[in-house]
Amino acid sequence: MSSNQPAPTHYVAPLEETPLVAVDAVNVGERKSNLWIDAWRDMRRRPMFWISAVIIILVIIVALFPTLFTSVPPNDDCQLSNSNGGPSGEHLLGFTKQGCDVFSRLIHGTSTSLTVGIIVTILTTVLGILFGAFAGFYGGWLDAILSRAGDIFFSIPYILAAVVIMSVFSAYRNVFVISLAIGIFAWPATARVLRAEILRVKNADYVMAARATGVSNFRILLRHVLPNAIAPVIVVTTISLGAAIVAEATLSFLGVGLPNSTMSWGNDISAAQVDLRTAPQTLIYPSLALSITVLAFIMMGEVIRDALDPKARAQR
Amino acid sequence: MAGYILRRLLQAIPVLLGTTFLIYFMVFAMPGDPLLALFGDKTPNPALLEQLRQQYHLDQPFIVQYFLYLGGIFRGDFGTSFSGEPVADILARTFPVTIRLAIMALIIEFVGGVLIGLVSGLRKGKLFDASALVVSLIFISLPIFVIAFVAQFIFGIQLGWARTTVSTGAPIQDLILPAFVLASITFAQLIRLTRASVIETQSLDFVRTAYSKGLSRRRIIPVHILRNSLIPVVTYAATDFGVLLVGATVTEGIFNVPGVGRTLYQAIIRGEGPTVVSFVTVMVLIYLVVNLVVDLLYGLLDPRIRYVK
């Protein structure tokens, strides 16, 4: 470069220093990545995920095989002489007012809570997806009708609604009726989340591309829009499983839940409340079981939300 | 603003009609005798049944029944309770107590929730923040009646700081423990919401501008950050009012607070179906009105809301 030429305003690298081949080539060795794989990589690094996963799996095993954990029958062996008694021998947590084994009733009551949680969640997810997907994707008058319907159901706090339903169906109180009573008013939360997400997704380029190639509307919804909008629904679903378990316990506690013959944590808490002063163990252990189970589901929902939502990740 | 108010009021009409219809439908469109079903395994006396049949116009076709019932609600006629006292009278007697409890709970919730949320958000990732997040998760998972019993056991029985049940007249000092219990259910969500909002506001341009022109943190935090972080917190208060209503039912029942919630609680426990239906309807109406008022206030606070569809 001779001295009488003006200095270049931009530095331009000589060609041989920038290997274009390396820039343009796709690195085939790079690990595959999409939303779900990223989320999984993020989740498995967090202790909260493993803690809640272990609790949830344990709860499922207890619900499926209660006899693995206790050999004491929950109801047959009750003796009033043991009423509100403290722990002894193979009766780890003491006795209820009726002289039944607290621990055994806890173990055998697990499946009730879990079953209600699962049925309610299936119900709210199915209804929520149907209402949310059609409202968000098709828009217009269908959206107006479905969203107003959702507003109406959303305007009645679902436990109060369930109280009314359970009062009417006082003769038919069982696990299915109570799940229906909770689920029928709890779905708008899911529908709202999905609708908002679909509104965001439905104008994406890949949807446009699918439309241009002549894919039918319904197929676009099913194959392109829904899979890309489902992530927040999974979060709501996980959390609502915990909420449904609480709802069942609250209804049973109020005396409009499951009949006394059904073993459930809510019923045990309800029965024990009068003996808070004299026999706190009968109240505290079922409450603890209930709270830990719900905590596990809510923690799991939080972890999934953080993993799926980069914005939430940044706030950590 | 006038247009916004009008639109919001018009939107409330279908929801109001829909919710009352839904409740009415759930109760009275079932096969069999709805009144007998409501009493469960109890057998009510025929005079009461006859009175209820007239009150709910059960001799008319369903849709006529509903509109007669709706007309009654607008005239302030919510029916009569199991003991024969008009529901409106019970409301007049019990409502002030519930309002007192709810206001105390809201103050505790807002002062505590916003403060902890603010400190958490400002110290993101530090020990205080991490522990606040864990504690709030635990509170979110605990059912209200568990919190109530634990509070009763620890503060009422073990420590003896508070009465386990509220004495007649519900003086303020007796309501402190129930108010804390009631606040605890929504308090945890408030911490998380304030925290997230503070973190977001902190990264906005006007906060950076405030720092770069040399304002002190003592001025930036309350004026620039906190005030702007509170907008989502205010809306949350409305949506969560429903949780508070359910919570009040259980809390008032457990602590024996003579409010609207306990009346509903006792009606549920005793299986007095018709009273339950009346009170649930009243609570849903209160919930709708509160939501409407907060929406209108929100439009006043944040002008952007008025122009969104």
Interval A178-196: pLDDT, tens: 999 999 888 888 898 899 8
Residue to mutate among B145, B158, B286, with most A CBs inside 10 A, is B145
Q: How far is CA A245 from the centre of its chain?
A: 11
Q: What is the mean pLDDT of residues A286-291?
A: 88
Q: What is the mean pLDDT of residues A297-310?
A: 83
Any idea which of A244-248, B127-131, B220-224 has the lowest mean pLDDT?
B220-224
- Residue pairs between chains A and B whose CB atoms are closer than 8 Å: 144
Please report the sign of the dihedral spanned by the C-alpha atoms of residue A305, residue A309, residue A313, residue A314: negative
Q: Identify the band that residue A56 occupies on the pLDDT scale cut at 50, 70 and 90.
A: very high
Torsion angle, CA of B3/B6/B12/B16, rounded to 10 degrees?
A: -170
pLDDT in tens, B278-293: 888 888 888 888 888 8
Determine the distance in angstroms separating the CA of A33 from the nearest CA of chain B, rounded to an integer: 27
Sort A100 into a burial class: Cβ within 10 Å, 0-12 / 13-18 / 19+.
buried
CB atoms within 10 A of CB B244: 24
Q: What is the mean pLDDT of residues A294-316?
A: 78
Alpha carbons A295 and B143: distance in angstroms, whole number: 10
* Residues A245 and A294 sit within 8 Å (Cβ to Cβ): yes
Residues of A in contact with B149 (CB under 8 A): 269, 273, 276, 283, 287
Q: For chain A, where are the alpha helices, taking DSSP H only? A: 20-24, 35-43, 47-64, 102-138, 140-154, 158-168, 175-186, 188-201, 205-212, 217-220, 226-229, 231-254, 265-272, 280-308, 310-314
* Residues A244 and A186 sit within 8 Å (Cβ to Cβ): yes
Residue B285: the pLDDT is 84
Residue to mutate among A48, A49, A156, A282, with most B CBs inside 10 A, is A156
Alpha carbons A151 and B15: distance in angstroms, whole number: 7
pLDDT in tens, B94-123: 888 888 888 888 888 888 888 898 888 888
Q: Length of chain A, please?
A: 316
Which of B141, B214, B288 is closest to A55 using CA atoms?
Answer: B141
Instruction: Say yes or no for a CB contact (<8 Å) between B30 and A287.
Output: no
Query: What's the number of CA atoms in the CB half-sphere (13 Å) around residue A298?
Result: 24
Determine the distance in angstroms separating the CA of B298 from the nearest CA of chain A, rounded to an integer: 18
The torsion angles phi and psi of A181, rounded to 5 degrees, stand at -65, -35
Predicted complex: ipTM over 0.85: no
**Contacts of B285 by beta carbon, 8 Å cutoff, 6+ apart:** B16, B20, B73
Alpha carbons A108 and A90: distance in angstroms, whole number: 16
pLDDT in tens, A145-182: 888 888 888 888 888 888 888 888 777 788 899 999 99
* Residues B206 and B224 sit within 8 Å (Cβ to Cβ): yes
Model's pTM, two decimal places? 0.81
Residue A305 has pLDDT above 60, yes or no: yes
Q: How far is CA A153 from the centre of its chain?
A: 20
CB atoms within 10 A of CB B141: 23
Which of A271, A284, A127, A277 is closest to A190 using CA atoms?
Answer: A127
Instruction: Say yes or no for a CB contact (<8 Å) between B40 and A170.
Output: yes
Among the partner-chain residues B125, B142, B153, the one whose CB lies closest to the CB of A276 is B153
pLDDT in tens, B9-47: 888 888 888 888 888 787 776 666 666 666 666 666 777
Residue B93: the pLDDT is 85
Alpha carbons B150 and A57: distance in angstroms, whole number: 27
